[in-house]
Amino acid sequence: MPLTPKTTFADLGLIEYETAWNLQERLFNRIIALKKSGASETDNYLLFCEHPHVYTLGKSGSDKNLLLDMIQLQAKDATFYRTNRGGDITYHGPGQIVGYPILNLEAVVKGAREYIEKMEDAIIQTLRIFGIPSGRLEGATGVWLDTDKPGRTRKICAIGVRTSHWVSMHGFALNVNTNLQYFNYINPCGFTDKAVTSMSVELGQPVDMKEVKSVLAARLAEVYNLDLTPVEASGFNNIHL
């Protein structure tokens, strides 16, 4: 499989969810337009960021899985968005690495299931490097711990994507130093019987976000065969925001 050309990698830092979503849409539509024009190569992007407290609902999710009303959301300094990604409801907040691969999938995978599985693989490999064993849970996307121990199974990374014309957007949310209290106000990903955890909880100490991002970007580049070109957030924002 050839390396994906022009895969720009940027860590956007703390950014409002709506701003990041609008950015994704522009990049997503740009790649689709290039493909429709018959271009032999397209732009590709891998974006990392953190969001202020926000709950997002996938297109197949249920509003009932948000356990707060709008006034309560405001009291928690949180916002809520219905999105066009797959999956149900999840939480994003500081201390969580949110990753948005916006890729021409024809260059990296043979199918949508493989795309998600490779994303899970990269996260599982990253967690292993930090001493956290993890894996998949049958019938669910994302990355989980203790899947063979009923009553102890817990989620550490949520995944929800959108694909159209073989281009991807949205992605994953890995809990690193996340305030897990915010998950108490939803049924995460629609589950009422599964717990949520973070790297810091599992390791018993805060984790260096920069180090996790470095390892995770390398693992994603490896599983998708991406040729990453890192750019500073300021330079990327000047061009694309």
pLDDT tens digit string along 153-168? 999 999 999 999 999 9
3-class SS at 214? helix
Residue 219 exposed, middle or buried by CB count within 10 Å (0-12, 13-18, 19+):
buried
pLDDT band at 237 (very low <50, low <70, confident <90, very high): low
Q: Does residue 108 have a pLDDT over 70?
A: yes
Distance CA 105, CA 13 (A): 25
Higher model confidence: residue 191 or residue 140? 140
Catalytically annotated residue among 189, 207, 212, 217: 189
Mean pLDDT to the nearest integer, 186-200: 78
- The answer to whether the CB of 138 falls within 8 A of the CB of 153 is no
Query: 189 catalytic, yes or no?
Result: yes
Q: Does residue 9 have a pLDDT over 60?
A: yes
Residue 125 exposed, middle or buried by CB count within 10 Å (0-12, 13-18, 19+):
middle
Q: Which of 21-25, 40-44, 53-57, 226-230 has the lowest mean pLDDT?
A: 40-44
| List of domains in the chain | 4-240 (3.30.930.10)
Please work out, in degrees rounded to the nearest 5, the angle formed at the alpha carbon of residue 178 by the alpha carbons of 205 and 208. 50
Mean pLDDT to the nearest integer, 176-197: 83
Q: Which of 31-40, 63-72, 184-193, 199-208 has the lowest mean pLDDT?
A: 184-193
Q: Does residue 12 have a pLDDT over 60?
A: yes
Phi, psi of 34 (to 5 degrees): -65, -40
Distance CA 39, CA 30 (A): 12
Please work out, in degrees rounded to the nearest 5, the angle formed at the alpha carbon of residue 114 by the alpha carbons of 214 and 21. 60
User: In 10 A of CB 94, how many CB atoms?
Assistant: 14
pLDDT band at 119 (very low <50, low <70, confident <90, very high): very high
Distance CA 226, CA 218 (A): 9
CA distances from 128 to 124, 199, 225 (A): 6, 11, 20
Mean pLDDT to the nearest integer, 166-189: 91
- The answer to whether the CB of 17 falls within 8 A of the CB of 79 is yes
Average pLDDT, rounded, for the chain: 91
pLDDT at 14: 97
Q: Does residue 1 have a pLDDT over 50?
A: no
3-class SS at 121? helix
pLDDT at 210: 97
Higher model confidence: residue 2 or residue 142? 142
Higher model confidence: residue 239 or residue 219? 219
pLDDT tens digit string along 46-105? 999 999 999 999 887 888 888 887 888 888 899 999 999 988 889 999 999 999 999 999
pLDDT at 240: 61
Mean pLDDT to the nearest integer, 195-210: 97
